[in-house]
Amino acid sequence: MIVVDNTDKKGILSDPIVMRLLEDSEFRTIMVRNGSQIFLKIHSNSLLALLFDGWSASAKEIAFLKNIRSALSELPIMVVSYSKSVDARIAAYEAGADDVLAAPCTNREFSARLHQLISRLIQQDEAILIGDMKLWLDSRIVMRNGRLIKLSQKEMNILLHLINRSPNPVSRTEILEHVFGLNFDPGTNAVEVHMHRLREKIDGNGNNHLLNTIRGIGYTFGVPESNVLEYSGAI
């Protein structure tokens, strides 16, 4: 999740309790100080949600939100508004916000509204449970140890291909062919870069490793033998 802190005054994100809620929740949080920085983050991170703190319905903010909505039509967006004007809140909805939270508010309401916003993504999505990892295919969301992780389309395709071929190893050439649609080696490290990002997301934060590299052969997906594979849908 990307959080845009667009206020110079003490907003909801200045509350240490709220920040702890974000840090301790399932959301991998990236803070940016203003809207102009977010497009740099979009290219390096798959967004689960956008939280915009300090909404005042300025022309610049409205244009920014419209651009985000145009670029990422399915991204859940919550706006925190400190304006008492109903028109300011309506402007947020018209610009593309899914939810507008009027501040000040309680920490419980903030947390509940944020969780509800994220849950809309996966309510109607097909889920797969493998060991301690849960996947929602259409939303490209993975959950491990209570943390929600958004995958890019390429990352999800690589993960599903590794799962389908498990426990057999998958070579770099096979990934290029089946995921990237290439029957030749372009001479780049695209596979290695995607695998590195996927491993950081899936196996990071102290999780047991599910993605493994066999030097000179390729990659494997595996869960501890003590874990039972349970599927709520077919891959």
Query: In the chain, where are the structural domains located?
Result: 2-122, 127-230
| pLDDT for the residue numbered 38 | 59
136 and 148 Cβ atoms separated by less than 8 Å: no
Amino acid sitting at position 99: D
Residues of the chain with pLDDT under 50: 9, 17, 43-44, 224-235
| pLDDT for the residue numbered 170 | 94
| pLDDT for the residue numbered 231 | 37
**How far apart (Å, rounded) are the C-alpha atoms in residues 12 and 80?**
8
| pLDDT for the residue numbered 55 | 86
| pLDDT for the residue numbered 89 | 92
For domain 127-230, give the fold: Arc Repressor Mutant, subunit A (1.10.10)
CATH label, 2-122, candidates 3.50.50.60, 3.40.50.2300, 3.40.30.10, 3.30.565.10: 3.40.50.2300
Contacts of 161 (CB under 8 A, 6+ apart): 170, 174, 175, 178, 179
**How far apart (Å, rounded) are the C-alpha atoms in residues 169 and 172?**
10
Summary mean pLDDT of the chain: 77
pTM of the model: 0.59
| pLDDT for the residue numbered 234 | 38
Instruction: Dig out the tokens for 113 from the structure.
Output: 């509204």
| pLDDT for the residue numbered 175 | 94
| pLDDT for the residue numbered 157 | 93
Instruction: Dig out the tokens for 169 from the structure.
Output: 């190893």
| pLDDT for the residue numbered 227 | 42
Same fold, 2-122 and 127-230: no
